[in-house]
Amino acid sequence: MEEITQVQKVVTIIIDFCVRYSFQIVGALIILGIGIYIAGWLSRLVIRLCEKKGMDVTLTIFLARLVKIVVLCFVIIMALGKFGISVAPLIAALGAMAFGASFALQGPLSNYGAGLVIIMTRPFVVGNTISILGISGVVEEVTLSTTILSTEDGEKITIPNKQIVGEVLTNSFENKVVEASIGISYDDDPEKAIAIIRDILASFSKIPTDPSAQVGIEEYADSAINIGMRYWVPTKDYFNTLYSVNLEIYKKLKDAGITIPFPQRDVRIVSNTGQTT
């Protein structure tokens, strides 16, 4: 009986609240619904305007989210006002809580500050290839707290933004440079080998012509003339292109009769009698 009585009291309180504040509840829900729709509409409008102006994706997403959050904050304040709740004490309490929490959340807050710096200064944008702290990948997304990279293997690398700001960063945009070399015999013509390698690099559609590939004599080594090459490839196809080019170079040089020598070393044995063999 006591449980039934308690349930009846709760039901009575709920009914009384709904009857007393029914218009306020309906009004608050209408305000929230309209506000959410307007926030989404304004966010999409900002995205369309930014795309029309040719702004980069990172800044576009940031501005769209900022507009949506600001509109939703105003909508929530208006909805609370329908219940006669004063927002001034609430804002003061939230400010005090934020101040106290800032000491415990210095790490995340520093990430947000660094993310804001990245978004505003734009040292890189979505689609660029960056290398930092020994990590390299294509930028997939930049948020206030983290920067997400992807690799050719499909890996996702999440870097806290505070680890990026203040560090030496290399941005090679959508491509990545390949630096390689191959040795040929001193008896062979290096100009012929260089011409063959240039033709091979030009035959790969994935290797851009701007900037053009660089091929030339890199070093006169002990056992070979090292032909060096530098060319750009799309980051997402870096290793596939590198392996295909290396195989094609080996085959074409072999077909042209150019020798790729293996390392050699002359060993001289000196006997106790002073004779050398």
Q: What is the pLDDT along the chain (277 residues), one digit of tens a residue?
A: 666 666 666 667 666 666 566 667 777 778 888 888 898 898 888 888 888 877 767 778 878 888 888 888 888 877 777 666 666 666 666 666 655 555 544 567 788 888 888 888 889 988 899 999 889 999 998 888 899 999 988 899 999 999 999 889 999 988 999 999 999 999 999 999 999 999 999 999 999 988 899 999 999 988 899 999 999 999 989 999 999 999 999 999 999 999 998 876 667 777 766 555 5
Give Cα separations from 65 to 116, 124, 247 (angstroms): 13, 19, 48
Contact 254, 247 (CB under 8 A): no
Confidence (pLDDT) at 2: 62
Residue 237: CB atoms within 10 A of its CB come to: 16
CA distance 201 to 214: 10
pLDDT for res 243: 95
For each of the domains in the chain, give its residue range(s) and CATH number, in order of start: 2-104 (1.10.287.1260), 125-171 (2.30.30.60), 177-255 (3.30.70.100)
d(CA 218, CA 229): 8
Tokens of 162: 């505070």
Please tell me the predicted confidence (pLDDT) of residue 96. 62
Beta bridge partners of 150: 138, 156
Per-residue confidence (pLDDT) for residue 153, from 0 to 100: 87
Closest CA to 263 of 228, 232, 223: 223
Res 95: pLDDT = 65
SS (H, E, C) 9-74: HHHHHHHHHHHHHHHHHHHHHHHHHHHHHHHHHHHHHHHHHHHHCCCCHHHHHHHHHHHHHHHHHH
Spatial separation of the C-alpha atoms in residues 2 and 10, rounded to whole Å: 12
Model pLDDT, residue 105 = 47
Q: What does the pLDDT read at residue 98?
A: 58
Instruction: Give residue 266's pLDDT.
Output: 66
